[in-house]
Homo-oligomer: A and B are copies of this chain.
Amino acid sequence: MTKYQQIKSHILAQIESGNWAEGDTVPSENQLAQTFSVSRMTARRALQELAEQGVLKRTQGAATCVASLKNQSSMLQIRNIADEIRDRQHAYRAEVIELDRRDASSLIASHFHFASGDPLFYSLICHWQDNTPLQLEERFINPVLAPGYLEQDFTRVTPHEYLCSVAPLTEAEHMVEAILADPLSQTHLHIKPGTACLRLHRTTWCRDGVVSHARLTHPGGKYQLGGHLTFPR
């Protein structure tokens, strides 16, 4: 392990342990250089690379801070449905339909590498744009990694926001499919049988394992998913 890598991992360790919180200023190049007995350029490299990764935020003349966890990796953004609706200048409202504990079906259990029948938290939430239901969010949560899930008020904070705060996600997997509206979707999205729906499956991991598995269903129409992509050259 090279010296600048040692410094990088030291900084990451401080952040992951919660020792250095979001927005805190981290030691300056000169301070790091001194405490690690390296030259300033070596300490600098550690800070620089972490800044490129989006972990730190540097401002010339001022300081280097721990970046906000939100804006991490917005490449394929895991965007907040609430923010999305509000960005479009519409009123957002969440309707919590169900929030309880239930046993994993074999299909769901497989996503968590659990045994079928293991207990999971479950939430069914409908996200409204003005007076239209726009997304039905069915979510299964690992109770070990998010023990306080059932006590949250999801009309104020979306499940995704809450989960990010308790278990910073490190990986995600997505799958989309087109389906015909199932009874649950028909009821809560106010759509007729035979309507085409877009369903997004999302599994999120934090360092310690699968945090949650969500089925997001959008009624027919269009839903912009990938957004814009700029290539490096």
* Cβ–Cβ contact A173 & B53, under 8 A: no
A161 at interface by CB-CB < 8 Å: no
Note all chain B residues with C-beta closer than 8 A to A75. 75-76, 229
Note all chain B residues with C-beta closer than 8 A to A221. 177
A194 at interface by CB-CB < 8 Å: yes
Note all chain B residues with C-beta closer than 8 A to A180. 194, 196
A227 at interface by CB-CB < 8 Å: yes
Give per-residue flags for A51-94: 1 if the beta carbon is below 8 A from chain B beta carbons, else 0: 01111000000000000000011011000000000000000000
* Cβ–Cβ contact B175 & A178, under 8 A: no
A130 at interface by CB-CB < 8 Å: no
In the complex, what distance in Å separates the CA atom of A198 from the CA atom of B196? 9
Shortest distance between the CB of A123 and any CB in chain B (Å): 22
A174 at interface by CB-CB < 8 Å: yes
Note all chain B residues with C-beta closer than 8 A to A230. 170-171
* Cβ–Cβ contact A177 & B222, under 8 A: yes
Shortest distance between the CB of A42 and any CB in chain B (Å): 13
In the complex, what distance in Å separates the CA atom of A71 from the CA atom of B196? 34
Note all chain B residues with C-beta closer than 8 A to A170. 230-231, 233
In the complex, what distance in Å separates the CA atom of A233 from the CA atom of B72? 9
**Assuming the A-B contacts A194-B194, A228-B171, are A223 and B177 also in contact, with contact meaning beta carbons closer than 8 angstroms in the complex?**
yes
In the complex, what distance in Å separates the CA atom of A226 from the CA atom of B226? 8
Shortest distance between the CB of A216 and any CB in chain B (Å): 12
* Cβ–Cβ contact B174 & A225, under 8 A: yes
A218 at interface by CB-CB < 8 Å: yes
The 8 nearest A-B residue pairs measured at CB: A174-B226, A178-B198, A178-B178, A178-B196, A177-B222, A53-B232, A196-B196, A176-B225
Q: Which residues of A contact B (CB under 8 A)?
A: 12, 15-16, 52-55, 72-73, 75-76, 168-180, 194, 196-199, 218, 220-233
29 pairs, A vs B, C-beta closer than 8 Å: A15-B233, A53-B232, A53-B233, A55-B232, A55-B233, A72-B233, A73-B231, A75-B76, A76-B76, A169-B231, A170-B233, A174-B225, A174-B226, A174-B227, A176-B198, A176-B223, A176-B225, A176-B226, A177-B220, A177-B222, A178-B179, A178-B196, A178-B197, A178-B199, A178-B218, A180-B196, A196-B196, A198-B198, A225-B225
